[in-house]
Amino acid sequence: MKISHAFKFEAAHRLPNVPAAHRCSRMHGHSYRIEVQLDGPVDPITGFVVDFFDLEEAFVEVMNALDHRCLNEIEGLGNPTAENIAIWIWERLNRKFQGMSCVRVYETSDAWAEYDGR
């Protein structure tokens, strides 16, 4: 069984490793959408793979660190690409949940990066 939970936050960033003429070299913001997917068996008693409320509770720490922040100022996100944000979130949530299959980070509705721990 696969389950997924989406979260949204607002944040600013700039990409320090692109050419100065690249538009993402300047400070700008995104309305990020994060999807956390878990795979696993359905517990015969609870009926859950993972209780969505437990996932929401675990995501509070991530949300508090990222929401309405400058991502470049967050430890481990000096180069806050969608790819690096996905890895950063994975590292924090994977400690708490077995069966995480991926973290997907949308910078826009059309552009996203997905990390599956590899």
Distance separating alpha carbons of residues 105 and 82, to the nearest angstrom: 6
Given the residues 35, 83, 107, 114, the one annotated as active site = 107
**Chain mean position to CA 35:** 7
Which DSSP symbol is given to 105? E
Given the residues 22, 28, 57, 68, the one annotated as active site = 68
Residue 30 annotated as catalytic: no
Given the residues 24, 35, 70, 114, the one annotated as active site = 24
Residue 68 annotated as catalytic: yes
Are 37 and 88 in contact by the 8 Å Cβ rule? The answer is no
Query: Residue 4: which of 33, 44, 26, 45 has the closest Cα?
Result: 33
Residue 91 annotated as catalytic: no
Place of tokens 């690096």: 84
Distance separating alpha carbons of residues 66 and 92, to the nearest angstrom: 12
Q: Which residues are catalytic?
A: 24, 68, 107
